Structures are given as C-alpha cells and as structure tokens.
Chain A
C-alpha cells in the first residue's frame, strides 16, 4: 500500500501540477482577503469569518471546484492501469485492497500537501492558522478523492471517467449545495450523502464526511475485487 501510495503521490507532485494547484489556492486566498470587506457586506459573515477570509477562501475553492480538480487529475488512477494492463504488474504482487488504498492515500496525500502548503503560506500573511477550517478542507478532500477512486474502479473506460469528471466537477457542488439548502422533502434526504450538509455546521459533524468516504471505498473495493484486469 505504501509503495503504491508513494508512487501515486510522487507522480502527481512531479511536474507543474502541484505548483499550479498551490498557485491557484494562493491567488484565491489573496483575493478572498483583499475583497473580504466586500464579501462581509454582501454575505452574512461574522467578524471571525471575515478575519479568516484567507483560509475561508481556500475552503470555498475546495468546496466549489475541489471535485473538478481532484477528478481532473486522478479520474483514471484505477481504470487507466486496467485499460493499459499495467494493473497486472500490481495485482500479481499485492492484494487489490492494498492497491486501492495505496491509490487513495497517495492522491489524498498529494492534496493534503498542497492544502498544507497553501495554508502555511496564507498563515504567514494572516498571522494565524485556523485549524478547524483546515480540518474541514481535509474532510471534504477525503470525500472527493474517495468518489474519484470509486468511479475509476466502477467505470472501465478512462474516456468516460474524464467526461464524468467535467460533468460531476461542475454539477456536484451546485446540486449538493442546493440539496443542503432545499426544503423539498422528496429529494432533501440526498443531502445526507453529500458533504455540503455537514460543512454548514461549525462543529465536528464534518467527521461524517470521512465516514461516507470510507463507505465509498468499501464499495470501490467490492467492485474492484470482482473486476478482471
């Protein structure tokens, strides 16, 4: 698991991907802080939220565009290897569960590193580190990475997951936030399986997001276990 995780994470860190991601986060954090008075006036932000605008900006970016980013970079982490049959080198050496978890934690580690660097740099400007927002950001990333891995294990064609990554990346946050806010009972129950409902609260209920991510990994493992490579 560790070996696969390391390869996956280093694969994402290599090149300009990680630099571009951190740059986007920093730009977001900078402009969030710059326009925080405007945001305070238009959105109902309390004094603490306005003060933490740098980090709130990063959380906002992860909530809105995180799924698109994660899927954009890793939509084919499982099915590409099955399609090109490099998966055979892995399967003949270790268990499928190890492969799946290795991929999951490798991708998650990449994003945690990017977010940590972004939070560290913004903390230099803001002179504070908001651990709770950092934790919420990591929670939603566990969900987004698990969803990406699950789809990559379920759908065998990388072209299809690429298409889905664009559709889901745009639609998922819109639908998810709408579900969290809607009062229509016939569909509102779906909010419990999206992460956005649990982010509304300023308490540790965001841990439920991690549990849902775990459930998605269990499903992914069951599907991947039956797949022929």
Chain B
C-alpha cells in the first residue's frame, strides 16, 4: 500500500508557486528522503501533507485514506522543523498531553520508555524551556512517536545538531524503520540521506527534479566508473600484449607502473579487467572504485542547470 500518494499538489503564495503540481508516491515501510535547497518547497510539502497548511489545488492520500481526514491524524507522527515547546510544561507532561490529544493517552511508563529510547529519561521532569537545542530535537522525535503512528514525518531531524547527537538520531530512525514505520524526512545533510534513505527525491523550484534509489540516481548520473588498481610489476615478456590490451580501452588508462587508473563504462568491465590481470599473472593488491556520492549528484543537478540558465 502507498503511504503517501499526491496528485498534482500545488501551493501558491500570491503569484509565486512554491510547489508545482507534485506527483509523489511513497510505499509503506520506506525511509524516503527529500532533498533540496532552502526554499525549494520541502517544508511546504510536509506542511501540506500534515494539515498545517492547505494546498491550493490537487489531492493527496496518506496510508490509503484521502485527506484531509481527522481520523488519519491518529496514525501519523510529525516532527516540525521549528521546535518550540510549551515552556511551562515538563518533558513528561508534553508526552502525556500530546498523546492524549492524538486519542491514545500514554501511561507514565510508556512516556518514560519513549524518553529512555530517545535519551531524555534524565530530564523527564525538566521544563521544556530549560532543554538544550539537541534535547528539543529529541523531544520532537519523542512526541512524534509517542502515539505509535504508522507514518512519521521528520522535517530536518538533525539540523543544527552536533555529530554525536546526529548519530544517535540516525540510530533511532533506523530502529523506527526496522519496527515497520514509514518515514518521510527532509534534510540538508546529504550524507545522512544517502546513509539512511531507501529512496530519495531531489526537489528544485517546487518540482521533483530526480527521484529513485541511491543506485538509480548514481547510474543516471554516472557515465564512467573510475577504478584504481594497485598491482605488482608486469612481467617483461607479457608487456607488449598487455599494452596492446590496454590500448583497447576507449580512454587510455593512466599508469605509473604499479598504480593504474581506468575509466570504465560499467561494472562488468571491472570483472573483465581483473580477469585480464590474473591471465597476465600480475598481482593485484588493491582495487578502488570511485562512485558519485549524493553530494556529487545533488551539485550536478543544481549547478549544471544553474550554469545552463546563466549561459
């Protein structure tokens, strides 16, 4: 079943279209990552899907239920991007109040379990106004899952956090995914999205520029694979035929004798390359494959288009 299904979803502020006829399908059980520059429309999309703002046109359904629908709110958890809590309530009181509001009042034990899980059990009775930024982010996650939702929206869950806290949040997201939750997250952190998400969409100017798994995105952007091989010396009697074989590559490899760099068209050529090395009885010590990272893809998507526009 589709966890999220949008059809021609649009949001307009005055004359400016922030989200332009978005069609997006997210399957249940995915960790779906949404990338884009500031102002690309990521948070606007989350806000539309979670009922914070109303779409100008188009329709969407969550967990198979056409929205807006009051009942579906019990099955979704939302961590907004801007985490300000009620300063006069303690961490524990927040969870009690917000779970009751979701129609699934959580007992004190359940609240403490969730707080322990996110690492806030020490500050359960502290007022929210006294929490640090990282603690507020964790409370944001705790309140989003306290009512055991099926679909969780996380709007920039680690932005502004230190590395240790971010790693902790990553672990929590993975555990949520393992327990069968569908997670829809936005982020500026490309490494985080690459590491966590099963599928990724890159949003640009209110539209989805690219969507797919990390491998699909890589194969789309990858025209050549760079392979570095550290190898032993080539036997002299084999040298002429080996150089002839090397010449068969479209792009001539660069070699300094024991370290050669090849530009290959696909992964099959790596296997062929290694077979040839073994045939010539050349020892292979190390093989390194350079692949485009999400950062490369993201930058290529944004800056290549910018360059075209500027030209």
- Encoded as 1 (CB less than 8 Å from any A CB) or 0, chain B from 238 to 279 comes to 000000000000000000000000000000000000000000
> B98, A93: Cβ atoms under 8 Å?
yes
> A94, B70: Cβ atoms under 8 Å?
yes
The answer for the CA separation of A11 and B88 in the assembled complex, in Å, is 9
Cβ-based interface call for A7 (8 A): yes
Contact among A84, A88, A92, A228 with B76 in the assembled complex (CB-CB below 8 Å) = A92
Whole-angstrom distance between the Cβ of A213 and the nearest chain B Cβ = 25
Cβ-based interface call for B84 (8 A): yes
> A92, B51: Cβ atoms under 8 Å?
yes
Whole-angstrom distance between the Cβ of B66 and the nearest chain A Cβ = 16
Instruction: List B contacts of A88 (CB < 8 A).
Output: 52, 78, 80, 82
Instruction: List A contacts of B101 (CB < 8 A).
Output: 3-4, 89-90, 93-94
Cβ-based interface call for A95 (8 A): yes
> Interface residues of B, CB < 8 Å — how many?
22
Which residue from chain A places its CB closest to the CB of B85 in the assembled complex? A86
- Encoded as 1 (CB less than 8 Å from any A CB) or 0, chain B from 219 to 247 comes to 00000000000000000000000000000
Which residue from chain B places its CB closest to the CB of A228 in the assembled complex? B53
Which residue from chain A places its CB closest to the CB of B147 in the assembled complex? A93
- Encoded as 1 (CB less than 8 Å from any A CB) or 0, chain B from 66 to 93 comes to 0000100110101010101110100000
Contact among B53, B54, B102 with A93 in the assembled complex (CB-CB below 8 Å) = B102
> B80, A85: Cβ atoms under 8 Å?
yes
Indicate whether A229 sits within 8 Å of B70 (C-beta atoms), given known contacts A85-B80, A89-B143, A94-B101: no
The answer for the CA separation of A4 and B103 in the assembled complex, in Å, is 12
Instruction: List B contacts of A86 (CB < 8 A).
Output: 84-86
Cβ-based interface call for B65 (8 A): no
CB proximity to B under 8 Å, residues A205-229: 226, 228-229
Q: How large is the interface on A (under 10, 10 to 19, 20 to 34, 35 or more residues)?
A: 10 to 19
> A7, B97: Cβ atoms under 8 Å?
yes
**22 A-B contacts (beta carbon < 8 Å):** A3-B100, A3-B101, A4-B101, A11-B88, A86-B85, A88-B80, A89-B80, A89-B101, A89-B143, A91-B51, A91-B52, A92-B50, A92-B51, A92-B52, A92-B73, A93-B74, A93-B101, A94-B73, A94-B101, A95-B70, A229-B52, A229-B53
By a beta-carbon cutoff of 8 Å, the part of chain B in contact with chain A is 50-54, 70, 73-74, 76, 78, 80, 82, 84-86, 88, 97-98, 100-102, 143
By a beta-carbon cutoff of 8 Å, the part of chain A in contact with chain B is 3-4, 7, 11, 14, 84-86, 88-95, 226, 228-229
